[in-house]
Chain A
Amino acid sequence: MTTRVTPKRVGVVGLALGVLAFWVALPPIHARSLVVPVILAALGAAAGIYAVRGGSVRVGWSAIAVGFMGLGLAYLATQSSVGNLQIVFTWSTLIASMLVFATPLMYASLGGIFSERSGVVNIGLEGMMLMGAFWGIWGADKTGSWVTGVAIGMAAGGLLGLLHAFFSIHLRADQIVGGTAINLLALGITGYAFVQLYGRENIPAGVSEVPRLQLRFLDRIPPDSLGNFLYGAFGRLSVMIWIGFLLVALAHVVMFKTPLGLRIRSCGEHPRAADTVGTSRSRSPVCSPVQEARSCRSASSAHSTKA
């Protein structure tokens, strides 16, 4: 089997070398001198230059940039102690909490994707998240179950999304002005409701939590340290985090593989063209802000997992 050396392939190798330059300075290899990263980064950059000259400009320049970044990061890594590096890069709790903090962003951006793709600029995501967070925790507190809490949170965020949709689509108000209004409104509504419903006290402890998915088998993966690491990082995550990952995949399928997704995208890219083929312009974007309800789940999950 022969593989031809094309500039693009060389560029990709250059990219990999640049990453490698940083990686060798990290655990478990711990290159403590800069010589190896410098050589690797230089090779990567050289490969990048070759690729640029050969015509793959984007890959080539990326390889050059990654080479320099790898070198810089490797330099920083060699300046910090091995102990610190191990804490940062092999401490499974850090990975787990990274996922916890990433989850709200993930849900919110899924909501954002649906509205942006349908041509509605959504500045009001923050307000929708706030509504979801407050009414989600309120629902969980009053009904005693996190499932209904999440559902109520979704409904609250979705309701605000509908309001935004009504004003920006049916009344053709400016979407950004509307979004700003949504943010202010959410701040006022949740603040008011909090004082009204809970007075000066805090939300009581012991609100039903989102359960964690226990993945015991990760612990038993052969090298003990690896098993421990994997279990610590991924073995005790909230169900919401895994649902979030599933929804990312689902959102991709809906957006790019279904008629609904096609309609949403066509509304965003060329509303009048969508009109001519009979897609209801006002209906499709209305559906999408409802999807933003997802963003609220995030918030309630974040709250319940921390509670």
Chain B
Amino acid sequence: MTEPQDRPPPEQGEPTTTAGKLQLQQKLGGIIPPVLTAILAFFMGGLVILASGANPIDAYAGILEGAGINWFWDHFGNTDILDLATFNLTQTLLRTTTFVFTGLAVAFAFRCGLFNIGGQGQYTMGVVVAVWVGAYWGNALPNGLHVVIGIVLAALAAALWAGIAGILKATVGAHEVITTIMLNWIAFWFASYCFGQGGPLQNTTPGQESVPISDNVYDQSGAIIPILWGDLGLQALHYGIFIAVAALIAFWIIMNRTTLGYEVRAVGFNPSAAAYGGINVKKNYFLAMAISGLFAGLAAATDIFGWKYSAGVLDVQASAVGFVGIAVALLGRSTAVGVGLAALVFGALDYGTTRGLDPEVFDPTLAGNLSLMIQGLVVLFVGADLLILYLWSLRRKRFAAPRMSGRGA
């Protein structure tokens, strides 16, 4: 750290870091701005639907139904997985599980003033390790232990991957946005090599030599996360959703009830002040990134051991869960409850606009892109809405003062 005197004093009252802005955001308005943001984004999405000649209300109803929301009033209590609403709901929850983890991966770094765009790369490294442990370690280990080891190792691998960016930030000040983007691409091609033709993790099934997909965890070792609701052959909902809930609780406890969380938030709010107060800023940069990576790795491990069981080059290259995590963390204001709710919204949007959507109501290929657009709009508005609020409150203060003195004179 350079001496505080070297730096120009920050403009009065204006938060200088992303985390500082976020903290301000949390103070202002509470739950209302994110809800308004989401409504605005969906409204603009509706205009797009209208422009392409469909009825937005019908389309959104179709998307909600595709996400299985109608289970709560039409099919409540129905546990038959072959029932469409029930099935759709399990699929939405399956995606929500992943998004909780990737959302937390972004949120944790955010609170430390770091923008972790590398959730995707950390997830990818987690996938590689999870597949390696799950499908290539034989079946000597008892299944339960095998799964636990797989989840731990995948999470650690992803934590290390994120830690690289943390170390670079702490030691040489390399901007974490740049380094994590670069690490994303390294992970992308590393995984493509691993699962690609002739790669070390390509499948060994006779007759499948030209298919760039890994071996199947379930076939090779049977080490999978137990199924909670559904059928093994139909992408069942697994117990990983409880790990996700536990992760949300852990996130809340770490952030609000531990020294680590206090230090992370202090660094995020103002690194210079934190350093002045005796907090080791570099250590916190590294830890925040590593813990972020840990969450991304958990997403990968629960995906592989929970319902995907294998990974291929195409899966790796088409996956965007890490980027959805950014939208989740931003909409959720980087809080535990917020991330959980935002993950539900994006989980429903993700499944409801693609596989769950009835093609008669609205074209799923259009809707899939619509969901990307809505994600983009949410991120765009979330980035700005706090500032609108902030400027609004500032303006009120700034203009209030002279007016009052004017009255007094």
**Cβ-neighbour of A172 out of B365, B366, B387 (below 8 A):** B387
Query: Known contacts being A180-B379, A185-B373, is A171 close to B387, with CB within 8 Å?
Result: yes
* A247 at interface, CB cutoff 8 A: no
Query: Known contacts being A176-B177, A191-B369, is A167 close to B380, with CB within 8 Å?
Result: yes
Closest Cβ–Cβ distance, residue A124 to chain B (whole Å) = 10
Q: Mark A176-197, 1 if CB is under 8 A from B, else 0.
A: 1110111111111101100110
- Point out the residues of chain B lying under 8 angstroms from A269, CB to CB: none
Q: Mark B140-156, 1 if CB is under 8 A from A, else 0.
A: 00000000000000000
Query: Known contacts being A123-B177, A172-B391, A176-B177, is A191 close to B368, with CB within 8 Å?
Result: yes
Measured CB to CB, the residues of B under 8 A from A are 18, 21, 48, 52, 115, 117, 177, 181, 323, 326-327, 330, 363, 365-366, 368-380, 382-384, 387-388, 391
Can you give 18 A-B contacts (C-beta < 8 A)?
A167-B380, A167-B384, A171-B391, A173-B384, A173-B387, A177-B383, A181-B376, A184-B372, A184-B379, A187-B369, A187-B372, A188-B371, A188-B373, A188-B374, A191-B372, A192-B366, A192-B369, A195-B363
By beta carbon, the residue of chain A nearest B377 is A185
- Point out the residues of chain B lying under 8 angstroms from A171, CB to CB: 384, 387-388, 391
Query: Known contacts being A167-B384, A181-B380, A184-B376, is A195 close to B391, with CB within 8 Å?
Result: no
- Point out the residues of chain A lying under 8 angstroms from B388, CB to CB: 171
Other CB < 8 Å A-B pairs besides A171-B384, A184-B323, 9 of them? Answer: A123-B177, A174-B18, A176-B117, A178-B383, A181-B379, A184-B327, A185-B377, A188-B372, A191-B372
Closest Cβ–Cβ distance, residue B214 to chain A (whole Å) = 27
By beta carbon, the residue of chain B nearest A166 is B384
Query: Known contacts being A167-B383, A177-B115, is A185 close to B18, with CB within 8 Å?
Result: no
**Across the interface, do B376 and A187 meet the contact criterion of CB distance under 8 Å?**
yes
Measured CB to CB, the residues of A under 8 A from B are 121, 123, 163, 167, 171-174, 176-178, 180-189, 191-192, 195-196, 200
| Cα distance A172–B20 in the bound complex, in angstroms | 14
By beta carbon, the residue of chain B nearest A197 is B52
**Across the interface, do A177 and B18 meet the contact criterion of CB distance under 8 Å?**
yes
| Cα distance A183–B177 in the bound complex, in angstroms | 14
- Point out the residues of chain A lying under 8 angstroms from B383, CB to CB: 167, 173-174, 177-178, 181
- Point out the residues of chain A lying under 8 angstroms from B372, CB to CB: 184-185, 187-188, 191
**Across the interface, do B375 and A188 meet the contact criterion of CB distance under 8 Å?**
yes
- Point out the residues of chain B lying under 8 angstroms from A173, CB to CB: 380, 383-384, 387
**Across the interface, do A185 and B365 meet the contact criterion of CB distance under 8 Å?**
no
By beta carbon, the residue of chain B nearest A187 is B372
Closest Cβ–Cβ distance, residue B131 to chain A (whole Å) = 27
**Across the interface, do A188 and B18 meet the contact criterion of CB distance under 8 Å?**
no
By beta carbon, the residue of chain A nearest B368 is A191
By beta carbon, the residue of chain A nearest B372 is A188
- Point out the residues of chain B lying under 8 angstroms from A188, CB to CB: 369-376
Query: Known contacts being A167-B380, A184-B323, is A177 close to B330, with CB within 8 Å?
Result: yes
- Point out the residues of chain A lying under 8 angstroms from B48, CB to CB: 192
| Cα distance A176–B17 in the bound complex, in angstroms | 12
**Cβ-neighbour of B380 out of A121, A172, A178, A192 (below 8 A):** A178
**Across the interface, do A176 and B115 meet the contact criterion of CB distance under 8 Å?**
yes
Closest Cβ–Cβ distance, residue B376 to chain A (whole Å) = 3
| Cα distance A261–B155 in the bound complex, in angstroms | 48
| Cα distance A173–B390 in the bound complex, in angstroms | 11
- Point out the residues of chain B lying under 8 angstroms from A178, CB to CB: 380, 383-384
Closest Cβ–Cβ distance, residue B122 to chain A (whole Å) = 16
- Point out the residues of chain A lying under 8 angstroms from B327, CB to CB: 184
By beta carbon, the residue of chain A nearest B48 is A192
- Point out the residues of chain A lying under 8 angstroms from B181, CB to CB: 123
- Point out the residues of chain A lying under 8 angstroms from B379, CB to CB: 177, 180-181, 184
- Point out the residues of chain B lying under 8 angstroms from A187, CB to CB: 369, 372, 376
| Cα distance A176–B106 in the bound complex, in angstroms | 13
Q: Give 10 nearest A-B pairs by CB, closest first.
A: A188-B373, A185-B376, A184-B376, A188-B372, A191-B369, A173-B383, A181-B380, A181-B379, A177-B383, A173-B384
| Cα distance A173–B115 in the bound complex, in angstroms | 14
- Point out the residues of chain B lying under 8 angstroms from A196, CB to CB: 52, 366
| Cα distance A192–B372 in the bound complex, in angstroms | 9
- Point out the residues of chain A lying under 8 angstroms from B374, CB to CB: 188
By beta carbon, the residue of chain A nearest B370 is A192
Closest Cβ–Cβ distance, residue B230 to chain A (whole Å) = 30
- Point out the residues of chain A lying under 8 angstroms from B115, CB to CB: 174, 176-177
User: Chain B CB within 10 Å — which of A173, A182, A186, A196 has the most?
Assistant: A173
**Across the interface, do A189 and B373 meet the contact criterion of CB distance under 8 Å?**
yes
Closest Cβ–Cβ distance, residue A264 to chain B (whole Å) = 21
- Point out the residues of chain A lying under 8 angstroms from B387, CB to CB: 171-173
Closest Cβ–Cβ distance, residue A167 to chain B (whole Å) = 5
By beta carbon, the residue of chain B nearest A126 is B181
By beta carbon, the residue of chain A nearest B363 is A195
| Cα distance A167–B323 in the bound complex, in angstroms | 20
